[in-house]
């Protein structure tokens, strides 16, 4: 893992520990849950809602994905030693 990668993961972990991150995730979760496919009366609305949910899910799972990526890189580095 490069020094740049280490810095990125360190900064991300620091951010994930802040109350602001938790509040942000709660807001995103609420927005995600408010998107209801049952109210789609056209294919355009459906695809708009689907796109919005996809974008919000990216943010919702960013922490999990980042930590998993870091663990994978550490595992890969350990296997090279």
The full set of domain ranges for the chain reads 3-7+19-34+42-80
Please say whether the beta carbons of 1 and 73 come within 8 A.
yes
- Rounded Cα distance between 2 and 11, Å, is 14
Question: pTM for the whole thing?
Answer: 0.78
pLDDT at 81: 61
pLDDT at 39: 82
Q: What is the DSSP letter of 38?
A: G
Mean pLDDT, contiguous 10-residue spans, the chain (81 residues): 92 96 96 90 93 95 95 84 61
- Rounded Cα distance between 68 and 76, Å, is 12
pLDDT at 78: 79
């Amino acid at each position: 893992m490069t020094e740049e990668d280490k810095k990125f993961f360190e900064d991300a972990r620091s951010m994930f520990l802040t109350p602001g991150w938790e509040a942000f995730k709660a807001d995103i979760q609420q927005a995600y849950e408010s998107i209801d496919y049952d109210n789609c009366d056209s294919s355009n609305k459906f695809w708009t809602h689907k796109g919005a949910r996809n974008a919000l899910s990216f943010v919702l799972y960013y922490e999990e994905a980042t930590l998993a990526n870091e663990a994978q890189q550490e595992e890969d580095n350990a296997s090279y030693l």
